[in-house]
Chains A and B, each alone.
Chain A
Amino acid sequence: MSVLDWFSKQKESNAGRRAGRLDIPGDLWVKCPSCAAVLYKKDLEENHKVCQNCGHHFRLTFEERLSLTADAGSFREFAAELSAVDFLDFEDTKTYKKRLEENQRKTGRRDAFVCGEAAIHGYPAVLGIMDFSFLGGSMGSVLGEKFVRAAERALEKKLPLVVFTASGGARMQEGLASLMQMAKTAAAVARLQDSALPYIVALTDPTTGGTTASFAMLGDIHLAEKGALIAFAGPRVIEQTIRQKLPKGFQSAEFLEEHGFVDAVLDRQEIKNHLAKILKHFVQPAEQR
């Protein structure tokens, strides 16, 4: 037996193993990144994208989050017409303009934040939802402007403001203007703080960078979805800085609760009820129609 045979044998066994695996059509089944269970996509969606096996929360799109949060048919969007411009002619491996077009096509939305008036178990509120699937939920000028308009609408209509965050941070393609959205949104929260209107933040996976370091950490009440990554610096950046592996669960919703930055860590299905329970302290439910 020559040395070469060892290699051919290994190849064979590899191939054998591959053949033994389930042939999973990509659009019917999903593998849970947490417990590796293979989940039937339809079941997963019926379970609001929570793994039936381990409870891992998959990320939601804007539409999915909205339908889980607002009463059916209650959402009245505003500032929907705003869209981003490539004012720096920013080009990395692609132009910003191209990236925007691709993401708009993919999500059917103009940017990573949607806001409107809504009812949550009958309680009226201004509701803002970030969509991570749009350019990583990055905060650019449109997001900043829409957030401020949502805060202004809350002030004008004397409504609570509820915001779901999901963001990789500031949008680099808008340069320093994206950083300034942190100041802009924080200043708008300051105006809300000066009123007697509650501002509630629901932190979902992932919330990092400039988003966390501005309006996401300024709520009167912070809720977080189970297992969500909530951070200033992302885990990879920290690992590179301190040159060691991070402890398990570091920067998770549970970790933030333990360290005093979150009021409640909730299962996805509990959030709406919990929001309604909070809102009950501040507003009257709309008359039943």
Chain B
Amino acid sequence: MAEKKKIPLEFEKPITELYDKIAELETLSREQNIDMTSEINAMKNRALELETKIFQNLLPMQIVQISRHQLRPGTLDYIQLLFTDFVELKGDRVFADDPAIIGGFAFYQGQNVAVIGHQKGHDTKENIRRNFGMPNPEGYRKALRIMRLAAKFGFPVITLVDTPGAYPGLGAEERGQAEAIARNLQEMSRLPVPALSIVTGEGGSGGALGIAVADKVLMLEYAVYSVISPEACGSILWRDAAQSEAAAQALKLTAPDLLKLKLIDGIIPEPRGGAHNNHETAAQNIGQAIDVFLREYSRQNTDEILAKRYNKFRNMGFFK
């Protein structure tokens, strides 16, 4: 990703400006042979402080922007960084293959697993091929096909969630987008192998949930998970898409808020400045969470796992 020019997000600008200046000074000191170590170190400290401060005070809508960052690592990046011998499986065996969801078998530190995830692109061309990570019914049916194979062979299932939502298109409706998602929810609720879901970027509504009914649902620190996009919510409830900030605030879509509501099970920390600035560290942190999960669940029997999974979702909701 280093070769791609990064366009900073609005709130990142003061940080990148400072780092640019540091780079300038470093070049200058090298070329002119002047010792500026103390100045440079002071500036580095300042940059660090600034970055920490900015990232501690992010508004929900700014976190939404990070979660959608074009250079944010996606499923393929994590597969490459965390798993070995990935064997991709394509197609739903009924209609087509959907490049917006990828999946297959792999090894995580020598252990068999199935990995399934939404896939966006890091550039426009790839994004168009992947339909911006918005699956058609075939994507959900392929995911289910892989999950059933995983169940057959006794492999735990790991899903990585990163989608604006299921695709609202003509063909998608014709071929039963709703049925495909509903079927996945039903089948995942009783899939007889351990299942872990990690929201790595955008958890966009039913399109995200369609592969995220799992024993443990975790979120990366700057991922979001919501019933509706803040823009759409703003335009429906406030009748103004520009009210997305207010909507993002009201929807409580950030990882800390959702953990407080007990709608997710944990948060995976991101490297300083967000996962898009350091794919490797983000992957390592995810790896640790997978490790903990596999260790905990390999000891449990299937009936116990299924009963707990049912009760986990059975108990979600607030009423009197």
* Residue ID in chain A nearest B318 by CB atoms: A87
With A175-B226, A213-B182 as contacts: A250 and B236 at CB distance below 8 Å: no
A230 to B57, CA, bound (A): 43
With A93-B238, A176-B263, A238-B173 as contacts: A187 and B313 at CB distance below 8 Å: yes
Q: Is A191 an interface residue when CB atoms closer than 8 A count as contact? A: yes
Binds B, one of A12-20, A62-70, A178-186, A275-283: A178-186
Q: Say whether A172 contacts B168, CB under 8 Å.
A: no
A-side binding surface: helix, strand, loop or mixed? Answer: helix
Binds A, one of B17-25, B185-193, B282-290: B185-193
Mask of A159-180 contacts with B, CB within 8 angstroms, 1/0: 0000000000010101111111
Q: Say whether B185 contacts A88, CB under 8 Å.
A: no
Q: Say whether A251 contacts B173, CB under 8 Å.
A: yes
Q: Say whether A174 contacts B318, CB under 8 Å.
A: yes
* Residue ID in chain B nearest A233 by CB atoms: B168
> Of B246, B250, B319, which one neighbours A142 at CB under 8 angstroms?
B319
Which residues does chain A contribute within 8 Å of B213, judged by CB atoms?
A: 183, 186-187
Range, interface on chain B: 35 or more
Mask of A223-251 contacts with B, CB within 8 angstroms, 1/0: 00000000111000110011000100011
Q: Say whether A88 contacts B205, CB under 8 Å.
A: no
Mask of B280-320 contacts with A, CB within 8 angstroms, 1/0: 00000000000000000000000000000110011011111
Q: Say whether A238 contacts B236, CB under 8 Å.
A: no
A218 to B182, CA, bound (A): 7
> Of A91, A175, A218, A241, which one neighbours B227 at CB under 8 angstroms?
A175
Q: Say whether A176 contacts B253, CB under 8 Å.
A: yes
Residues 128-170 of A contacting B (Cβ, < 8 Å):
140-142, 144-145, 148, 170
With A172-B228, A233-B173 as contacts: A213 and B178 at CB distance below 8 Å: yes
* Residue ID in chain B nearest A93 by CB atoms: B238
A138 to B205, CA, bound (A): 15
Residues 223-277 of B contacting A (Cβ, < 8 Å):
225-228, 233, 236-239, 243, 246-247, 250-253, 258, 261, 263
Q: Is B79 an interface residue when CB atoms closer than 8 A count as contact? A: no
- A161–chain B nearest beta-carbon distance, Å: 14
Which residues does chain B contribute within 8 Å of A215, judged by CB atoms?
A: 182
With A187-B185, A217-B179, A217-B182 as contacts: A92 and B209 at CB distance below 8 Å: no
* Residue ID in chain B nearest A210 by CB atoms: B206
Q: Write 7 A-B pairs (CB below 8 A) sorted by A numbering.
A: A142-B317, A177-B263, A180-B317, A182-B209, A186-B189, A212-B182, A241-B169
A179-B226, A259-B175 known; 11 other A-B pairs, CB under 8 Å? A91-B250, A175-B227, A176-B252, A179-B206, A182-B206, A210-B227, A233-B166, A233-B173, A238-B173, A250-B173, A260-B176
